[in-house]
Structures are given as structure tokens and as C-alpha cells.
Amino acid sequence: MAETVPVIDVRTPLEFVHARIPGAFNLPIFSNEERVKVGTCYKQKGREQAILLGFDLTGSKWSGFIKEALKIAPEKKILVHCWRGGMRSGAMAWALNLYGFEVFLLEGGYKRYRNWVLEQFKKTYSILILGGMTGSGKTKTLQQLKKLSHQIIDLEDLAQHQGSSYGSMGRLNQPGQEQFENLLARELNKVDTNIPLWLEDESLSIGRCFIPNSIFHQMRQAPVMKITVPFEKRVDFLVKEYGVLDKEFLIESTSRIGKRLGPEQTRDAILAIRENRMDDFIKIVLIYYDKTYANGQGKREKESIHLIQCNSTDAEENCKLLLNHIQSE
């Protein structure tokens, strides 16, 4: 129902910011501080005293709650939840129902929803992995597959990270781990498990977000369609993608991988950035990323890796080659 009916989350702003049902609106009954007071009262004086305190704290807020709910759901049909489906959502549902809303309560609250999220990761999916060295244009090829009505999930988009030291692009803000899982579960819920689901080849972590172990295990067991693009073409692609970014961001990101890159290569890469020799910078760090990717591929069964020779990073052309290869298998 949450795909078509507005969801209001009546938990505190702190709870909501931490993680939430994707697309939900926050209409907190209590502020962060008020929730602490009510919780303390519940423990020290019992349920009834906590309820009275709750009404004391919210007494003047109820008309505001209803007005805000009308903005969110002008058709007066709404979904409501709190943490466990208890007093907070019950009180809000009662008030909105009294005003004439058609109200649906999430039984068990956000806690029950989180159990549902974790259940999505236990299902078996027909995964196909789109592989390729850094700079092969995998993400654009993945999006081209989507345009052609193939099932895809863009994990990097959900994680708001491109999956390398430079992955934040100097501007992306990642969700927390719990919210990343919520977003992934929403996408998995749309998947038809009987037909292929395309995912990009990723390591366990995408920036600070970790792919759930059960999904990652399925990804490691899945067939890999690896597009192979000439080195120079990949350099050109990455210069266009990363060469335009803030130089201080590039220097900081290069320094982060300095130990793995090596002191000389780190020095030369940073100098190339400062001197605006972006081709040279990309070539230096690309050697490191190619080795890292090769190490990851070495842990897969060789029989599961299928090579598709590509002459460029053109997503439309590479998508055709990819699909032709699958049809000829």
C-alpha cells in the first residue's frame, strides 16, 4: 500500500533520520527530548502515568498534527506507524480517524517492517552480474539494460557511492547501513525471481554501505558477464567522469589509498592532479584498481566468467554485444 498511499512515521526526528520506510513522512508525536521523558516516566511510574504525561506534552499539538496530515494526504487516506505499533501510532490513528481519515496501522510497527526487510535478503534471485574493469562504463550499460526492460538494481545509486576511494564524487551523501538495507529491500520486493536480475559487480562494501551477506553470497555464485574495454578508452571515460571533480577532493581521496598505491605512485598521482594532467593521474590509479579487480575475479570460478569484447565505453553498443552473447550461449 505504501507505493500508492502516504506513510506517516510518528517516531521522533532522531529515529526517523536514522532509518525509515522509503518515502515516509515524519510527523513526530514527541520530540527527541519528550520521548526520553515519557520513557523514563514509564519505567519509574508505570504505563498510566506515562500516558498522562504524553497527553500533557502533546495537548496543544493535535490540531497541528491533523493540518500537517491533510497536507501529506489531502484525500484523507493514510498509513501510520511508530516503533512497535503501540501508543504513539494508536493515538495518531485515533485522532486522524476522528477527523475523518481512512487510517491503516502497520501492525508491529517499524520493528515488524525491519523483519520484513531482512526476509527479502533470504530469498533466492536469478542474478546475473555485469562485470568489467574500472572505467568500462558498467553503470551506464546497466541503465541501458533497464531502458530495454530488463530487471536491474543499481546498488551504487542506492548507496549513493561509486564504489571506490573517489566514489562520493565529492558531493554524494550516503545513507546509513539500515536505510541502505531498507532501500534495497524495496527494490528486491519488485523483482520477479523467475527472470534474471542484473547487478553490477561490487565488493562487499560500497563506501560505508555493506551488501547484506546473503545477497553478496548469491552475487559471488552468479554468472559474470564481463565487458572488456581497451585501456585507453577506459582512461578517456574516467577523465570525463572524474577529471572535472574538485582537485582537493581528488588529492584527499588519492592520499587515502596511498599505502596500497605505493609512495611513488601516490606522489606522482597527486602531482599530476595539481598540474592538471588528468590522463596521467587516471593511468596511475587505474593500474591499482585493475589489480584489485583482478584479485576479486580470481576468487570466482573461471567457468562462471564470460568475456564480451567491446571496442568502446558506449553503453548502447556494449549492451547489444552483451545481449547477443547471452543469446548465442
CA distance 95 to 93: 6
HSE-CB at 20 with a 13 A cutoff on CA atoms is: 23
* Cβ–Cβ < 8 Å for 233, 133: no
CA distance 21 to 16: 9
CA distance 315 to 142: 8
Smallest CA-to-CA distance from 81 within 26, 31, 32 is with 26
Handedness of CA 91, 92, 94, 99 (dihedral sign): positive
Catalytic residue among 41, 82, 209, 310: 82
Q: Catalytic: 41?
A: no
Q: In degrees, to the nearest 5, what angle opens at C-alpha 132 toward C-alphas 322 and 278?
A: 125
CA distance 267 to 263: 6
C-alpha cell at 34: 519528550
Strand, helix or coil at 320? helix
Residue matched to cell numbers 572535472: 244
Contacts of 13 (CB under 8 A, 6+ apart): 26, 28, 31, 32
C-alpha cell at 206: 560500497
Residue 324 CB neighbours (<10 A): 10
* Cβ–Cβ < 8 Å for 132, 201: yes
Is residue 124 within a helix (H) or strand (E), and if so which, with residue range? none
CA distance 109 to 215: 25
CA distance 30 to 158: 30
The catalytic site residues sit at 82
